[in-house]
Structure 1
């Protein structure tokens, strides 16, 4: 299997971040969406960002965040990427990208092939897409629900923008997911947690060694 780029998302501790770096992860995500069990404050994200090594990119994960939150984030540190995981329209993504001079990861919830229509609306604005499973009925969070979608939908899509595969990936299924989807970038979160929001450094390193 070809080497894939890995994003470890929802990192809350320096131990987890350092494990991701040792394992060769290309990206790390700091989740500033307060309802998430992976939440860190902008101040905590800024402190963690000091431990991001050269060669690894940091993403700040937001959900329908207002201008005040972005102003606070960028006052404290400058992430390499902004991840939009809510219902932000293309205009909002374009405005954020222009204001903060920072590339955008646009998360797209997928359940059926029709959900890729969202991609067309954001092409030319998003620098990356992140294809995540649509939240299960009744889910409180837009992502990070350990749910999967039909990975065979992806090869039939024409997506020129680079993209990540996310949603319920773990040590058992990630290789199959990569094979079926054709992904060259994956986003891992619950796969390397001992409990919701609690990353396990040993699990991070072990999973990364296998990719």
Structure 2
């Protein structure tokens, strides 16, 4: 899978943003969800967005955010893409895309093949589908839990642009890419030293492992 796209998500500090850029990642993700340990305030997002401008694609991750919240986030970060990580309907995804005129990534929680089939409903309204491990029913946040789903479910997937997420780390990303042929990978907890705190060395190792697998 030549040229695999690498996204580092849940960034919240300037040093880890700089490490992400230095490692050669393609996308930097910023989480706007107060229940998440990776949540960034608008003021912080603005500063990080300014630092990232023109150097890496900026992704704003939200969870069932309303228009007012999205307006504020877009004004602060000036993202290149929007990632919808909640229970947004097909209609909501289309409305967000029309309102902001930005590419949209729609996250799909996966536990079995039926979840992948369900994703087809979003294909015409989302630019990219992100397949993540489905959270437990009582989970406080919809992602970033470090949980892996059965990658065999994605073998041979041909439903358009997509990303693989869920439990990836520097040690397993090459195998995940080999099994799935994913064109893009997304990591958050797998490059942390503790929950919500990114590790610069792990970021570099993850990008290197993904790039090595795509040669």
TM-score by length of 1: 0.94
Over the aligned positions, Cα root-mean-square deviation in angstroms equals 1.4
Indicate whether 1:68 and 2:99 are aligned: no
Alignment partners' CA distance in 1, 2:129 and 2:55: 20
**Structure 2: stretches of 5+ with no match in the other structure:** 211-215
Alignment partners' CA distance in 1, 2:53 and 2:201: 19
Matched residue of 1:210: which SS?
A: helix
Shift of 1:21: 0.5
Shift of 1:26: 0.2
Shift of 1:3: 4.2
Q: Contact (CA 8 Å) 2:21, 2:55: kept in 1 or not?
A: no
Moved more, 54-63 or 126-135: 54-63
Aligned length: 210
Alignment partners' CA distance in 2, 1:158 and 1:75: 35
Shift of 1:193: 0.5
TM-score by length of 2: 0.93
Q: Contact (CA 8 Å) 1:111, 1:134: kept in 2 or not?
A: yes
Q: Contact (CA 8 Å) 2:156, 2:181: kept in 1 or not?
A: no
Match of 1:192?
191
Residues 1:209 and 1:138: Cα distance change in structure 2 (over 3 Å): same
Match of 2:99?
99
Indicate whether 1:57 and 2:77 are aligned: no
Alignment partners' CA distance in 1, 2:142 and 2:70: 19
Match of 1:43?
43
Matched residue of 2:108: which SS?
A: strand
Q: Contact (CA 8 Å) 1:170, 1:191: kept in 2 or not?
A: yes
Alignment partners' CA distance in 1, 2:8 and 2:206: 11
Shift of 1:45: 1.2
